[in-house]
Amino acid sequence: MTSRPVVVYAGRGSSHSWTWLADLLEAHRVFGSRFVGEDSIGEVVAEGASSVIVSGGDGFEIASALAPRGFAAIEEYVRAGGSYFGVCAGAYLPLPSRLEPFDRFNLSSTRIRNLTARGDDVVDESPRTGVRYGSCRIVHPFRGEVELGDGRRRFAAPVYGGPVFQEPEADTVLLRYSSFTPRTLFQMDEDSAKGMVLGAPAVISARVGDGVMTLAGPHLEHPRYPEANQEFVRISGVPVGKDLGAPRTRSERHDPLVRRSLSDLKVAVLGMERESFLVGAKVWDAGRMLELASAVEKRSGSLDADTAQMVSSLLDEAREDILSAGPRGAAYTDSAPSRLVEAARSCVDCHFRAMKG
């Protein structure tokens, strides 16, 4: 009997953070995982999944991509007993909202604290510090490392725009924001940030029908935080040790094709190393692009000929987009980031299938 896969969303609106999930799942040899885009998530989920994970990115773009068919498929799956894990942008999606397209997916009753009237001067207008949300603004009071706790123990994890929850009426608090660290980068007055964040829920669990949705502000899957990784595995119920597969030997046959495209892409990306640009409501920079390139580089030896050709073409197209538009022009198109996301998604998904055997 074939085990049900962990389904990870890596489609339109996604940033690079889903590649951290790929690293975590691969480290635990959960090779049955699938990495899907907006066009296939409904079909893959309907076929059966052990869990569905949506990570960071542009929440508005992800919501637009998943509404209505993707949301409907995920909701049906969860109500029938499935498990959804939303991180950062993926945690905002199920929260109560009357704003399109989020209003298609109102499954949790918990609201957020990091919301202000748009005219408030708590933060500046940088997209790193917050995004417009109807007549209000979702603010990001800090970035980087924070300590989390459950009353018995504490550990560190990073936050990059994830929600700060209000006290839930029906949902369950799993972890709270306990304290800041020397690595915390404040994006508003420190006292205001403390008042908004410390003691507030950081990870909650919501019952939906016969299933459960876990919503996390912090990136527990970040590769530099092993204690947080262990907590992610524990909370998410990822089937560690149950889906090991029969790994095949990697082939380097198609490496030259992809590696040449990767090398050319890196030269173009490093040319804008000090630049950043806005795509939708998400800031992109060289570091994020290079993490996607790294996800391809680590797994390109597993690709079949057709996938290698497709990935190489997407990398070449992303490079041309960067060179022709430049960082300023890139602010008006999502072509380079979206092509990189698709190249990485196709490569990682093919690699996991090859390693499962």
Domain check: are 61 and 193 in the same one? yes
Q: Is residue 246 part of a domain?
A: no
* Separation in Å, CA 83 to CA 125, 161, 235, 343: 36, 23, 11, 27
For the cut 90, the answer to whether the pLDDT of residue 328 exceeds it is no
Domain check: are 223 and 309 in the same one? no
For the cut 70, the answer to whether the pLDDT of residue 346 exceeds it is yes
Domain check: are 345 and 274 in the same one? yes
pLDDT digits (tens, 9 = 90+) for 150-165: 999 999 999 999 999 9
Domain check: are 295 and 330 in the same one? yes
Q: What's 90's domain CATH number? A: 3.40.50.880
Q: Is residue 244 part of a domain?
A: no
Q: Is residue 177 part of a domain?
A: yes
Omega within 30 of 0 (cis) for the link into 201: no
Domain check: are 105 and 146 in the same one? yes
Q: Is residue 138 part of a domain?
A: yes
Q: Is residue 297 part of a domain?
A: yes
Q: Which residues partner with 312 through β-bridges?
A: none
Report pLDDT for 1: 37
pLDDT tier at 247 (50, 70, 90 boundaries)?
Answer: very low
Predicted TM-score of the model (pTM): 0.91
Tokens matching residue 302: 């597993």
Report pLDDT for 274: 63
> Of 184, 205, 236, which closes a domain?
236
> Of 173, 203, 236, which closes a domain?
236
For the cut 70, the answer to whether the pLDDT of residue 122 exceeds it is no
Alpha carbons within 13 angstroms on the beta-carbon side of residue 50 total: 18
Domain check: are 178 and 291 in the same one? no
* Residue 110 vs residue 135, higher pLDDT: 110
pLDDT digits (tens, 9 = 90+) for 172-203: 999 999 999 999 999 999 999 999 999 999 99
For residue 38, give its domain range: 6-236
> What integer is the mean pLDDT of 211-239?
96
Domain check: are 149 and 211 in the same one? yes
pLDDT tier at 280 (50, 70, 90 boundaries)?
Answer: low
When the pLDDT of each residue in the chain is averaged and rounded to a whole number, the result is 89
Domain check: are 28 and 85 in the same one? yes
Domain check: are 75 and 170 in the same one? yes
For the cut 50, the answer to whether the pLDDT of residue 313 exceeds it is yes
pLDDT digits (tens, 9 = 90+) for 48-57: 999 999 999 9
Domain check: are 276 and 346 in the same one? yes
pLDDT digits (tens, 9 = 90+) for 30-70: 999 999 999 999 999 999 999 999 999 999 999 999 998 99
* Residue 325 vs residue 107, higher pLDDT: 107
> Of 208, 236, 264, which closes a domain?
236
Strands (E), 103-171: 115-117, 130-133, 136-139, 142-149, 154-159
Q: Domain tally for the chain?
A: 2
| Residue 240 CB burial class (10 angstroms; 0-12, 13-18, ≥19) | middle
Residue 179 has phi, psi (to 5 degrees) of -160, 160
Domain check: are 263 and 218 in the same one? no
Long-range CB pairs of 148-155 (<8 Å, 24+ gap) are: 148/175, 148/176, 148/177, 148/178, 148/202, 148/203, 148/218, 148/228, 148/231, 149/175, 149/176, 149/178, 150/174, 150/175, 150/176, 154/178, 154/179, 155/225, 155/227, 155/228, 155/231
Q: What is the dihedral of CA 95, 237, 220, 102, to 10 degrees?
A: -20
User: Which stretches of the chain are DSSP H helices?
Assistant: 18-27, 41-46, 59-66, 69-79, 89-92, 190-197, 226-236, 255-270, 286-297, 305-330, 335-356
Q: Is residue 281 part of a domain?
A: yes
Q: Is residue 71 part of a domain?
A: yes
Nearest by Cα to 51 from 233, 277, 209, 257: 233
Domain check: are 221 and 300 in the same one? no
Report pLDDT for 130: 81
Q: Is residue 144 part of a domain?
A: yes
Report pLDDT for 281: 56
For the cut 60, the answer to whether the pLDDT of residue 248 exceeds it is no
